[in-house]
Chains A and B, each alone.
Chain A
């Protein structure tokens, strides 16, 4: 696919003769400059200065004209560059497309490699407490990405409120564990079921919505859940959050320095806080892999095929006798369930949760992981989670510029690979030979 695209782009490159509409360009630039002037006069041309006698107005009218001049020049340059700029970008994306096409082709070998690396990561010498903590965080996002991938990538339903299910899972776990003193392994499925239930509850009102409307309603749902958590003080302890959430145990053995029944005692080890972190690491690795395996299996079952068909064409789905209501609700429910399980893991790892952890930015990051990874691709989502969350940590020192770099990187990647890192789709069933399907054919849903 990528090669076909690149040859097309290369053919058009020399053929594109720059034919500028100078008059139109100047007129457009003039209009832009006028607007800039109108805006700049109140904003720039007067300034209050503190002087001995009080505040004085200093006129700086030349600044407004300078601004208008800059806008004029800039807009004109942009106009003139637009044509050639478009070609350059096409050429660039073709080159990048060619150079990253291997990502799709080698993903079959990439996945086992990444899996083996993940399993043996704790035994590497560089795996100190910081690295392990970061890995646990990354894997949490991998799991969330895979969960959201069911809704957005497979079923094509744009969900901007995924964090709601993460929150429901975390709070369900925290409340049940604190009040009923049940172990993590009992509470986790309950939290998952609670989240799935909320997935269905959210699913019903949005069944008939598509695209932007669906995105806005799901976004609102995420906010509603957070605000309810903030205000329902009796149950959630409001903004103070819930603390003292029980830590997970290894078949009843606790990760503590001293006590009757500790992990270190039982295995005759000397206690180290790292033991608990490594344990958590394997727990989340297992949960994430469970998400992945279940998703891969679902994709090959009728329900998964119906999700993808729904993404491709909802009307055709219904004409084939598929109940699209049930199909959407199962996508919401199963996606939410994995979000809820990830939430319960988050609660047990932190030992403390508050509504602050479940803001819209979490939804945005998870969605960014899914989109960046390539809608529907498991390996792509895993890579994207590592790159995004890991990269976020890497640039921690840069503080202020971190968000800037993050945004810039996202924009660049979306320009070069608009369908994500791994954009090809693998068929769920084959008659003779498996061929990847190019991104240009695969629907995105809405």
Chain B
């Protein structure tokens, strides 16, 4: 104990179990993701990583378990009390601002993003291919723009307050495009971008929902070493700006390089949890994961050539 993530977790996964018929994809998994840290979730193919993500982001309803998000640091004791009361109450969230606590397993996917402010990307890129890069980023700011447009009524009437809000949203998007180096392609269709750019754009789009926790499902898959290094820089800068990151990754170089904390899954169960150094030394991880990972990497690289 005494790890930074236990002291101030943003996400607390407790006894998460997900069954598909007879298959238990995730089995009594508990871990925490620390505030303002990069937490990596690793494990061999089929270990259940994406399933964990789908549970966290509301796409699957977990069979069992509690998934809580706390927006503010607050007092640990008081936070635990509030969480207990929320769990008893049957409600989805409690409190506002820094005090807010959310139970993700009770929320549909859009509320996980809109209210609990947990955003995600997908293992297979899901951009709006026929819309421009800028439109992709504006769509991510839908809820705030919707309010600004008076739920469409004010927008139809052309109220100036809506145009101000839209200009702000465009400016916010432009800043993100600068960060991912895509300003020049703002008016091109997202589907026309090269693969690596699409990956970065999907991350920027998720960030445009202004999340406190960003969940990335294999963001480095299919990237070349240069793009992979760029990605590391981007993820670090996102963390340094105050967001927390939960990351699924196959590429050990990426994981060891940028993670503050690593959780290792195998067959839906946690086999190791700790700092990169501790995990690298863990015999259970070496046995279950590292040997396989090398093969996987060889296969993956063969496929991209």
List residues of A whose CB falls within 8 A of some B CB. Answer: 294, 297-298, 301-303, 305-306, 308-309, 312-313, 315-324, 330, 425, 427-435, 437-438, 441-443
Main secondary structure of the interface of B (DSSP, over half): helix
Q: Is the CB of A309 within 8 A of B128?
A: yes
> Interface residue tally of chain B, by bracket?
35 or more
Bound Cα distance from A410 to B120, whole angstroms: 43
Which residue of the partner chain A has the closest CB to B190?
A: A441
Q: Is the CB of B134 within 8 A of A430?
A: yes
Bound Cα distance from A434 to B134, whole angstroms: 11
List residues of B whose CB falls within 8 A of some A CB. Answer: 57, 59, 108-114, 119-120, 122, 126-132, 134-135, 138-140, 142-143, 145-146, 149, 152, 155-156, 158, 162, 166, 170, 174, 177, 183, 186-189, 191-192, 205-206, 209
Which residue of the partner chain A has the closest CB to B139?
A: A309
CB-defined contacts of A318 to chain B, threshold 8 Å = 59, 108-110, 113
Q: Is the CB of A321 within 8 A of B126?
A: no
Which residue of the partner chain A has the closest CB to B145?
A: A302
Q: Is the CB of B114 within 8 A of A316?
A: no
Q: Which of B113, B122, B152 has the most CB of A within 10 A?
A: B152
CB-defined contacts of B191 to chain A, threshold 8 Å = 441
How many Å from the CB of B292 to the closest CB on chain A?
29
Q: Which 5 pairs, one residue from A and one from B, show the smallest C-beta to C-beta distance?
A: A442-B130, A321-B113, A321-B114, A312-B128, A431-B186
Bound Cα distance from A432 to B120, whole angstroms: 29
CB-defined contacts of B192 to chain A, threshold 8 Å = 441
Q: Is the CB of A427 within 8 A of B131?
A: yes
Bound Cα distance from A298 to B120, whole angstroms: 28
Q: Is the CB of B129 within 8 A of A435?
A: no
Q: Is the CB of A324 within 8 A of B134?
A: no
Neighbour of A322 across the interface among B120, B135, B142, B152, CB < 8 A: B142
Q: Is the CB of A320 within 8 A of B129?
A: no
Q: Sample 26 A-B pairs with CB under 8 A, ordered by A number.
A: A298-B152, A301-B156, A301-B162, A302-B152, A305-B142, A308-B135, A309-B128, A309-B131, A317-B139, A318-B59, A319-B126, A319-B206, A320-B110, A321-B142, A321-B143, A322-B139, A330-B152, A427-B131, A427-B135, A430-B132, A431-B170, A435-B132, A437-B130, A437-B189, A441-B129, A443-B130
Q: A431-B170, A432-B186, A438-B189 are in contact. Are A305 and B135 (CB under 8 A)?
A: yes
Bound Cα distance from A392 to B92, whole angstroms: 57
Q: Is the CB of B131 within 8 A of A302?
A: no
Which residue of the partner chain A has the closest CB to B185?
A: A431
Bound Cα distance from A108 to B49, whole angstroms: 50
Bound Cα distance from A431 to B162, whole angstroms: 17
Bound Cα distance from A441 to B108, whole angstroms: 29
Q: Is the CB of B109 within 8 A of A319?
A: yes
Bound Cα distance from A319 to B118, whole angstroms: 9
